[in-house]
């Protein structure tokens, strides 16, 4: 009991010393931005981008899309090589739902984490399905137990996709603006 009370008193003593040390720490006051001014700047930026989108004044659009575990930056008429099984067949049209950002030389709209599918449309068409060149894995073990050498050969399936269309369908989501 004596040891327990001594440990408790040490903890209390350390806590009080710790608290005293923090009492003498000087705090630097934070400079808060004017929230109303910040909101006006953001709204002006939204209006500018929505105006560019509405007037179709954007140059060639680019987008970052996610296919499986990969992210690719694409523009119209790009060809993507998807390594691994991809189920659509030749000639199938694909709409990519996971668009991370879209932009042009004038603006960029970034999703958190992805953009709304009603805001942007990225479409492609499967132009080729083939196999990769033959790859080889060489495995060697010493001659103990008569294992020797082994060669493994394989070919990965490849799918070629041409991006046909990148289109912004309306104003930025979250802004109270109509298409009129």
Question: What percent of the chain is predicted at pLDDT more than 70?
Answer: 71
Higher per-residue confidence, 59 vs 151:
151
For 91-133, what is each residue's pLDDT tens digit?
Answer: 999 999 999 999 988 888 889 899 999 989 999 999 999 999 9
Q: Which residue has the tokens 């327990």?
A: 4
For 37-79, what is each residue's pLDDT tens digit?
Answer: 667 888 888 888 888 877 776 678 999 999 988 999 999 999 9
Burial zone of 64 (CB within 10 Å; 0-12 exposed, 13-18 middle, 19+ buried): buried
**What distance in Å separates the CA atoms of residue 136 and residue 127, rounded to the nearest whole number?**
27
Q: Is the dihedral of CA 166, 170, 173, 175 positive or negative?
A: positive
DSSP character at residue 29 = P
Please indicate, yes or no, whether the overall pTM of this predicted structure exceeds 0.75: no
């Amino acid at each position: 009991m004596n040891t327990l009370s001594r440990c408790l008193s040490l903890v209390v003593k350390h806590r009080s010393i710790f608290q005293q040390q923090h009492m003498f720490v000087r705090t630097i006051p934070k400079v808060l931005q004017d929230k109303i001014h910040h909101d006006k700047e953001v709204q002006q930026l939204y209006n500018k981008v929505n105006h560019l989108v509405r007037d179709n004044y954007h140059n060639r659009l680019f987008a970052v899309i996610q296919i499986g575990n990969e992210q690719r930056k694409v523009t119209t008429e790009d060809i993507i090589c998807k390594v691994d099984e991809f189920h659509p067949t030749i000639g199938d049209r694909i709409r990519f739902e996971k668009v991370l950002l879209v932009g042009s030389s004038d603006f960029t709209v970034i999703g958190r984490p992805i953009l709304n599918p009603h805001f942007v449309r990225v479409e492609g068409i499967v132009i080729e399905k083939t196999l990769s060149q033959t790859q080889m894995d060489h495995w060697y073990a010493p001659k103990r137990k008569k294992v020797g050498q082994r060669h493994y050969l394989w070919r990965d399936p490849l799918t070629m996709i041409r991006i046909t269309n990148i289109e912004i369908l309306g104003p930025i989501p979250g802004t109270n603006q109509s298409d009129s």
